[in-house]
Chains A and B, each alone.
Chain A
Amino acid sequence: MAQSTTDSVRRATTGASNARVATLDRTFKDPGSARHHAAAIKDYVLDHLGELLQQLEANCTSHGIRVHWAVDSASANEIIVGICRSAAPDGAIVAKAKSMATEEIHLNHHLEAAGFTPVETDLGEFIVQIDHDTPSHIVAPIIHKNRFDIAKSFEREKLGPYTEVPEELAMQARGHLRESFKSATIGVSGVNFAVAETGRLVIVENEGNNRLSTTAPRIHIAVMGIEKVLPREADLPLFLRLIAGSATGQRATTYMHGVLAPRRSDEPDGPDEVHLVLLDNGRSAVLHGDYREILRCIRCGACQNTCPVYRQTSGHAYGHVYSGPIGAVLAPALEGITAMGHLAKSSSLCGACEEVCPVQIPIPRMLLQLRDEAFRAGVARDSAPWSVYAFGATHPSTWRAGLKMLPLAEATPVPHPLKSGWGEFRELPHRRGRHFRAWWADRP
């Protein structure tokens, strides 16, 4: 990774982490107990998921929101493309608000293949789209780019005169994307929280593109992972505070859009149709395994911001829509150990992710369990001869004899378990001072 990219990522993640701590400390007398409370509510949701989804469905339907169930990404894409075909001509613009669920199912690719023109309207996602890039962070998709990269992209796309000033770049994007909102027949968004007791779909954002995408077009399609349901409207304030504070260090996001129904006959504007796509895509199976608590995740990105590995590598190194600590668990949990098990090794197991998580997901424990599962499946095994090590460590005399030979192994070119990866960047460890066992044996 280029140094400038590392610097951008490091600066942004460090800033976000500091803001998170300051805001949560101000918002909650005891942030730890708020996180614990949120985790307990999420555990209730995961335990009662079937009932809550049916309650959500019934309440949405009663307000005129049409509910669709998608067992996997193929099914979700088919449903969404089907809705688009029924309502819009070939080539029609689909205004897209930022949504990890639609990234997960690669919706843009399917819309394009079906002849539609998806336009990402979140500034970061828009830049990702014009650069044919992929997002590298679940909250800040272009954390890996700087203003000069963006200036060149905007010049290439002829969005306005060349400028490196963030305000001017943003206004060029505003002007360009306005036309998409006005001409789109369909808007697609994600869902942050869906309230079972009322059927309200809650979307949080700062830019306003999400509100525009879900208000101006005639049809709004909301795509949500099935775990995003909350029991009660009264649960919203806690989760709104936690997601705003954990994601960007804000006390409240600029907009909390609470969609309850399509435009009613007495309302002057708003979409005529609202569709809710409930996406499973592996989640229901995760519910019954060791990685169940990963479904508490509210996609705030705090674990990415604090992770020392993410800070050095940025999100693209993980090779998946979900990166950082959350991705290292979610990707193999959803897509299987064979395809994604190697990600469990991309962690120093430092535990910072669990410490910052607003819903207390035990990510380090899950990474260890994934490593065990991957090892047993023969995925991403390292070359260290652990069975040989275990033999030594269970035969004390062999162990002691081996330790005596260590200085010899250092001095000679015999294979050494640490020499390959270790030595390129660090000197090999060598004994400092006395040997404990000899000292102990010689004590008077």
Chain B
Amino acid sequence: MSDRERILSVIGGSTGVALPSPWPGPSLEGALENRFESELKTLGAELVTADRLKELAGASVFADSDVPEPLLRGLVRTEDVWSADLGITLADYGIADTGSLLLTAGPGRNRLASLAPPHHIAVLSRTRILDTAEAAIEVLPSRTAVIVSGPSRTADIEGVIVRGIHGPRRLWVLLTD
């Protein structure tokens, strides 16, 4: 008997316990964009404008292929994600309730761009800010995806929060219309 058959035979059949409907989740009041921004700040990330990117002139950048060209002016493109100072990606959706971003793998979307460089800038359309994680899960595409809530962090040493332990230590979100 294979391991599969052995496990399934010990588990056996069901007795007909019913499946409750999914948890409805909270409903948000107020402007989603304001909530998104304040939650983002709580997480240690922030909203930035395109002007702010000028400060980064000369930095090496690894970017998604569909990041608008004007945003990359003054930056030095690199094809080595491990050595880049900065990763710029598109975000599919924002989640106002928790200040989170939904990023999906796909053509031109490098999974490591939001992860390996010490700085990550996510470009997000204001029209794509959803209220809650429940709404985000509903639109989760049939691809590998990640929900990002703030910069990489650890509290393993005496509970002290340190940012950027493995992923980016700074997370900036640039809203577009």
Contact = CB atoms under 8 A, between A and B. Distances in A.
Direct contact of A and B (CB under 8 A): yes
A357 interface: no
Given A43-B17, A69-B7, A261 B159 contact: no
Interface string A186-206: 000000000000100000001
Interface in A268-324: 268-270, 278, 280, 284-285, 287-288
Nearest to B149: A252
A207 B153 CA distance: 5
Interface string A50-68: 1101100000000000000
Contacts of A122: 156
B25 interface: yes
A256 interface: yes
A48 B17 contact: yes
Interface residues of B, number: 66
Interface stretch (B50-58, B67-75, B133-141): B133-141
A226 B17 contact: no
Interface residues of A, number: 93
Contacts, number: 221
B157 A169 contact: yes
B166 to A, nearest CB: 4
B118 to A, nearest CB: 9
Interface in A233-273: 233-238, 240-241, 248, 250-261, 263-264, 266-270
Interface string B35-62: 0000000000000000000000000000
B84 to A, nearest CB: 13
A343 to B, nearest CB: 24
B134 A237 contact: yes
B165 interface: yes
A211 B10 contact: no
Contact of B167 (A146, A211, A216, A285): A211
A146 B98 CA distance: 31
A154 to B, nearest CB: 11
Given A75-B3, A231-B19, A255-B167, A216 B112 contact: yes
Nearest to A150: B157
Nearest to A262: B144
B74 to A, nearest CB: 24
Interface of B: 2-4, 6-8, 10-20, 22-23, 25-26, 82, 97-98, 100, 105-112, 115-116, 132-134, 137-138, 140, 142-160, 162, 164-168
